[in-house]
Amino acid sequence: MEAKTPSRQYDLQNLRRARWLVFVVASVLVGLTQAYNYWGLKLSLFDVLINLIIGFFVAWLMTELGLRYFFRLQEELGGAIVSLEAAETQMHWQSAALASAANAIVITDRNGRVTWINPAFTQLTGYLPEDVIGQTLSVLKSDRYDDTFYMQLWQTILDGRVWRGELVNRRKDGSFYTEEQTITPVLDDQGQISRFIAIKQDVTRRKTMQDADREQRILAEALREAGVALSATLDLDKVMDILLDQIGRVVPYDTVSLMRVGNGRAVVVRARGNAPFPKRFLEPENAVFVIEETPNLLELVQSQQPTIVSDTEKYPGWLKNGVGSHIRSWIGAPIIIEGEIFALLSLDKQEPGFYLPQHARILSAFAVQASLVLHNARLFAEKEENLRREQQINRVVQATNATLDLPRVLKQVVELAANLVEADGAVMALVSADDQTMTYPYWVNLPEDFEWLPVPRGRGLAWQVVEKRQPIRLVSYPDHPDALTEWIGAGLQALLAVPIVAGEDCLGALCLFYLSQEKVFSERDQVLAELAGQQTGVAIQNARLFQETKQRARELDLLNPVIAATAVSENEGDILQIGCTELARYFAVPQAVCVKLDEARENICIMAESLADELPSLKNSCIPVKGNPILQKFFDTAVPITLPDTRRMSLPPEMAAVLTDRGMVSVLMVPLPLRDRIVGAIGVHSQQLREFSKNDIRLAVTVGEEIGRSLETLRLNDQLRTHAAELEKRVAERTWELAEANEQLQQLDRLKSKFVSDVSHELRTPITNLTMYLDLLERGRADRRDHYLSVLQKETARIRQLVEDILDLSRLEDSRERGIMFLPVDLNQIVAQVVMAQMPQINAVRLKLDFVPEDGLPLILGAQHQLSQVVTNLLTNAVNYTPEGKIEVKTYHENSEVCLMVEDTGIGIDDVDMPHLFERFYRGKQVAQLGVPGTGLGLGIVKEIVDLHGGRVEATSELGKGSLFRVWLAAVEDGA
Ligand code: ADP
């Protein structure tokens, strides 16, 4: 039936074609017939048309029926032929198929003797037809099955059922193979079993493949499960744990470990052991392998492929001693993330030759899966880490902004920076105030007992960071040539040091460490640390600004009282005391002293001190400057001194008595300036180790200067006071002098008035006498004319003498006012001339005159005519007031004075007259009674002249016996 369908279709097509052909031919015939009927037979057109329609219809009917019949016949005949042909072909094909079937086919008779085999049988078993035809197939038996097996087989097929089964047989060459066999019994016409057909299919390959398939499935399952397990978490640590938990399901091991790869090292981060393995395997120092030095790891890393060491004993360079000694076979596979080896899987067995290539393949597949999961976990961890770090940075920023308490902030920053990059430890290095030392005030997680000693400029890596303002990132700190041995000793390994920057300044470095070898700082760590460094700089700057403001306030607190107190203090001691007290208070020290240099600038003496209660005073004690290099330098340079630790210095004993003996450890000494000289110093002494900052020094210097200014003011005030007092004294003196002068002037005035009055009085008498006697001369008695004339002459002489004397006095006063030229004169000569001139008059009254000049009498400076007047007046008086006796004139000299002595033996001078002798117009009482003519001006003129010559006049007298006048004048000095 199946074969009919196409041919039938074919026939139907032919039928349609034939139908049209017959119908057209019939139609043509009908047409031709009717044409003949019309034109030949001349039938009517109607008849012809009717005939034509009928003809066509008949032709169509005939064609249809005839053809259908014809084709049915043809169809039946064709079917028979086709069946026959098909049967023949099938026979041929089946025979060929049997012969060429891929499966081995065996036909046996009812007893199992082979009647036919195909070539595939020979191919499968190695037996040729001649080997087996006529034989049973027991040659193929593998002895793997017992008799029962074969009996059941026979039972089945003999019962007429098909036996199907898989069994292992033996080839002609003795090797085994697995076949899948179908034995079908063939029945004859009577329904009896005539033969058996066995079809054998070699399933050895399939079997192997199935095994492999199953293995693959198990592996896939294990991998899938491992994948599920691994994907269950993104926690990198857990992922690594699960990795090791799962690996045993796909590759057997005694020990397995996961190693992280980086910086040429493989570090065991996880390990499992089925077999006992050395515990120290997991100890950190044993868990690090230098890849270059470990051939199996090097091979693995270089090839980036799973690597097997079949037998470690035959593997050159296997680490026999130590951790790998128990291992005989080893397999390793790389876990590659983004093209780089992230980690290694390392498995080992204690038996040699255990690991085979398939293990490598499995491990490789596992490693691929592990890499994906680890990659994810790592990305996640990184993301988490980023988040965490962002939070940390925020915390750093917050911490630095939260408070201005710098030490707290910095301590916190160090902690946060260490957390930020997960460093094992961190230390903050800060440049000291003098820019010369690096100190390490803050650290975390580093050995507690470690002493972070300050480091001088240029030593260690922190200085390099500060000087270059560049971060330093080292894998191994101890390998760096500039590493500090003490830091190496503290166990520092990887280093990341970043600058602490504030604007233009670099204030220090933030140093972060790993204490173990397997960790290193990444580029990202550096970026984060730098951020923390900058933030620290800002914090320090802020805090410093705040501190500075606070400091300024404190300084003002110190300076204000010093300025205020010293400004009003009136003595040096008070000012120095205020300076000491305020400095001691400001620096909170138990001892502050003010010292001053003595006049010779050889010693300093303590002038003021501020002392804690228990310390006895050292006030007024002195220390020699000479031989004390510290003090000498101080007073030479005027540069403030800081002695950070006097215990480590050998001081001169006097200085030690003030400092070390009293437990003063740190010293600050600033100069006490007075104008442009250093007159002393102020010392601030602390009993604790104390670093005096630039600021401290500046402030103390300012206090010193302020005290110096106050001392200067004080000194100026003293001077001013002294000056004022002096002025006052001088004014008083001057006032007194003026009063004196005034008194003198008044006296003079009075004298003048008296003089005028005296002169008037003295003139009145003679003038009255002159008037009266002129009148008498005119109208009086003639006989008395001579008398009248002599009186008139006497009175005229008196007036003349009076006028002469007054003129003399007037001239003298004139010379006193204008000054007169004195020349050296010889007194002897002057006296001799006067004596000679007076001699006639003396002789007339019979008086004896002795002139005794001294030989070699020194010259005197004087005006000759004035000195002549002195001698004349004295001599005239002696003559006038000596009624009889003698007059002696002597000159002599005593010391540097020359003396003129006039002595008489006259009437003498009454004691009453004595004090008034030299007054103008004064005349002795008795002389008036005696009627001795005179003006009372003679001695006045003498005194005036002697005064003008800077000499003196003395008078001694004894009433009735005589008088003695001495005039003393200065002799001209030799050579003058
Ligand atoms: P006068 O001689 O003109 O009286 P003086 O001034 O010369 O004035 O002398 C003053 C007075 O001193 C005299 O009046 C006289 O009393 C007294 N006197 C001066 N010289 C002598 C003398 N040598 N002996 C005694 N008395 C004298």
Q: In this structure, are residues 532 and 393 in contact, taking their beta carbons and an 8 Å threshold?
A: yes
Structure tokens at 144: 């793997």
Work out the pLDDT band at 915, boundaries 50, 70, 90.
Answer: very high
Pocket test for ligand 1, best of 800, 881, 905, 954 (most atoms within 8 A of CB): 881
Radius of gyration of the chain (CA): 79
Structure tokens at 81: 């032929």
Range from 181-195, 475-489, 945-959 that averages highest in pLDDT: 945-959
Is the pLDDT higher at 413 or at 215?
413
Atom of ligand 1 minimally distant from the CA of 908:
25
pLDDT tens column, 257-268: 888 888 888 888
Task: State the distance from the centre of ligand 1 to the C-alpha of 902, rounded, in angstroms.
Answer: 13
Q: In this structure, are residues 1 and 64 in contact, taking their beta carbons and an 8 Å threshold?
A: no
**Which pTM was predicted?**
0.35
Mean pLDDT (whole number) for 675-694: 90
Least reliable range by pLDDT among 282-286, 315-319, 364-368, 634-638? 282-286
Task: State the distance from the centre of ligand 1 to the C-alpha of 934, rounded, in angstroms.
Answer: 8
- Cα separation, 664 vs 863, in Å, equals 85
Work out the pLDDT band at 706, boundaries 50, 70, 90.
Answer: confident
- Write the residue with the smallest CA distance to atom 9 of ligand 1: 936
With a cut of 60, say whether residue 329 has pLDDT above it. yes
Atom of ligand 1 minimally distant from the CA of 923:
14
Ligand 1: lining residues by beta carbon, under 6 Å: 877-878, 880-881, 904, 906-909, 913, 917, 923-924, 927, 934-939, 963
Is the pLDDT higher at 301 or at 568?
301
- Write the residue with the smallest CA distance to atom 8 of ligand 1: 936
- Cα separation, 360 vs 363, in Å, equals 5
**How much is the pLDDT for 277?**
54
**How much is the pLDDT for 285?**
54
With a cut of 80, say whether residue 567 has pLDDT above it. no
Task: State the distance from the centre of ligand 1 to the C-alpha of 924, rounded, in angstroms.
Answer: 6
With a cut of 50, say whether residue 81 has pLDDT above it. yes
Task: State the distance from the centre of ligand 1 to the C-alpha of 943, rounded, in angstroms.
Answer: 13
Mean pLDDT (whole number) for 150-163: 90
Atom of ligand 1 minimally distant from the CA of 926:
16
Pocket test for ligand 1, best of 759, 798, 869, 880 (most atoms within 8 A of CB): 880
Pocket test for ligand 1, best of 759, 808, 927, 953 (most atoms within 8 A of CB): 927
- Cα separation, 853 vs 145, in Å, equals 196
Is the pLDDT higher at 25 or at 875?
875
Atom of ligand 1 minimally distant from the CA of 965:
23
Work out the pLDDT band at 19, boundaries 50, 70, 90.
Answer: confident
With a cut of 50, say whether residue 773 has pLDDT above it. yes
- Write the residue with the smallest CA distance to atom 25 of ligand 1: 908
Work out the pLDDT band at 276, boundaries 50, 70, 90.
Answer: low
**How much is the pLDDT for 976?**
43
- Write the residue with the smallest CA distance to atom 19 of ligand 1: 877
Computed over every residue of the chain, the mean pLDDT equals 85
Task: State the distance from the centre of ligand 1 to the C-alpha of 746, rounded, in angstroms.
Answer: 27
Mean pLDDT (whole number) for 717-725: 90
Q: Which of 426, 432, 392, 422 is nearest to 511 (CA)?
A: 426
- Cα separation, 808 vs 125, in Å, equals 194
Least reliable range by pLDDT among 26-40, 117-131, 654-668? 26-40
Nearest 5°: phi and psi at 132? -115, -20
**How much is the pLDDT for 231?**
66
- Cα separation, 119 vs 57, in Å, equals 68
Structure tokens at 723: 């000056």
Nearest 5°: phi and psi at 257? -145, 150
Task: State the distance from the centre of ligand 1 to the C-alpha of 928, rounded, in angstroms.
Answer: 10
Q: Is 659 exposed, middle or buried (0-12, 13-18, 19+ CB in 10 A)?
A: buried
Pocket test for ligand 1, best of 842, 877, 918, 930 (most atoms within 8 A of CB): 877
Mean pLDDT (whole number) for 516-539: 84
With a cut of 90, say whether residue 949 has pLDDT above it. yes
Task: Give the alpha-carbon dihedral of 197, 198, 199, 203, to 10 degrees.
Answer: 180
Question: What sign for the dihedral angle of Cα 612, 617, 622, 627?
Answer: negative
pLDDT tens column, 776-822: 888 888 888 888 888 888 888 888 988 888 888 888 888 888 888 89
pLDDT tens column, 186-205: 888 888 888 899 988 888 77
**How much is the pLDDT for 320?**
58
Task: State the distance from the centre of ligand 1 to the C-alpha of 909, rounded, in angstroms.
Answer: 8
Task: State the distance from the centre of ligand 1 to the C-alpha of 969, rounded, in angstroms.
Answer: 22
Atom of ligand 1 minimally distant from the CA of 907:
25
Is the pLDDT higher at 851 or at 216?
851
Task: Give the alpha-carbon dihedral of 746, 748, 750, 755, to 10 degrees.
Answer: -170
Mean pLDDT (whole number) for 267-286: 65
Task: State the distance from the centre of ligand 1 to the C-alpha of 880, rounded, in angstroms.
Answer: 8
Q: Provide the β-strand partners of residue 429.
A: 509
Atom of ligand 1 minimally distant from the CA of 928:
14
With a cut of 70, say whether residue 286 has pLDDT above it. no
Range from 94-98, 242-246, 378-382, 439-443 that averages highest in pLDDT: 439-443
- Write the residue with the smallest CA distance to atom 16 of ligand 1: 924
Task: State the distance from the centre of ligand 1 to the C-alpha of 897, rounded, in angstroms.
Answer: 26
**How much is the pLDDT for 282?**
54
Q: Which of 115, 95, 123 is nearest to 201 (CA)?
A: 123
As a whole number of angstroms, the longest Cα–Cα distance in the chain is: 263
**How much is the pLDDT for 890?**
97
Atom of ligand 1 minimally distant from the CA of 962:
24
With a cut of 90, say whether residue 228 has pLDDT above it. no
**How much is the pLDDT for 5?**
47
Mean pLDDT (whole number) for 294-318: 87
Least reliable range by pLDDT among 107-111, 449-453, 593-597, 846-850? 449-453
Exposure string of 412-451, with b = 16+ CB inside 10 Å and e = fewer, is bbbbbbbbbbebbbbbbbbbeeeeebbbbebbbbbeeebe
Work out the pLDDT band at 241, boundaries 50, 70, 90.
Answer: confident
Atom of ligand 1 minimally distant from the CA of 934:
3
- Write the residue with the smallest CA distance to atom 23 of ligand 1: 878
Work out the pLDDT band at 4, boundaries 50, 70, 90.
Answer: very low
Atom of ligand 1 minimally distant from the CA of 877:
20
- Write the residue with the smallest CA distance to atom 14 of ligand 1: 923
For the beta sheet containing 437-444, the strands, ordered from the edge strand earlier in sequence to the opposite edge, are: 455-456, 437-444, 425-431, 505-513, 495-502, 472-474
pLDDT tens column, 724-768: 999 999 999 999 998 888 888 888 788 778 778 877 877 887 888
Task: State the distance from the centre of ligand 1 to the C-alpha of 873, rounded, in angstroms.
Answer: 10
Atom of ligand 1 minimally distant from the CA of 940:
6
Task: State the distance from the centre of ligand 1 to the C-alpha of 961, rounded, in angstroms.
Answer: 14
Long-range contacts of 23-30 (CB under 8 A, 24+ apart): 23/59, 23/60, 23/63, 26/55, 26/56, 26/59, 26/60, 26/62, 26/63, 27/55, 27/56, 27/59, 29/59, 30/55, 30/56, 30/58, 30/59
Nearest 5°: phi and psi at 347? -125, 150
Mean pLDDT (whole number) for 899-923: 93
Is the pLDDT higher at 206 or at 591?
591
Task: State the distance from the centre of ligand 1 to the C-alpha of 866, rounded, in angstroms.
Answer: 19
With a cut of 80, say whether residue 389 has pLDDT above it. no
Atom of ligand 1 minimally distant from the CA of 933:
3
**How much is the pLDDT for 240?**
80
CA distances from 550 to 63, 231, 401, 404, 695 (A): 132, 59, 18, 11, 12
Q: In this structure, are residues 312 and 330 in contact, taking their beta carbons and an 8 Å threshold?
A: yes
Task: State the distance from the centre of ligand 1 to the C-alpha of 923, rounded, in angstroms.
Answer: 6
- Cα separation, 668 vs 703, in Å, equals 13
With a cut of 70, say whether residue 321 has pLDDT above it. no
**How much is the pLDDT for 274?**
66
pLDDT tens column, 859-892: 999 999 999 999 999 999 999 999 999 999 999 9
**How much is the pLDDT for 950?**
93
With a cut of 50, say whether residue 2 has pLDDT above it. no
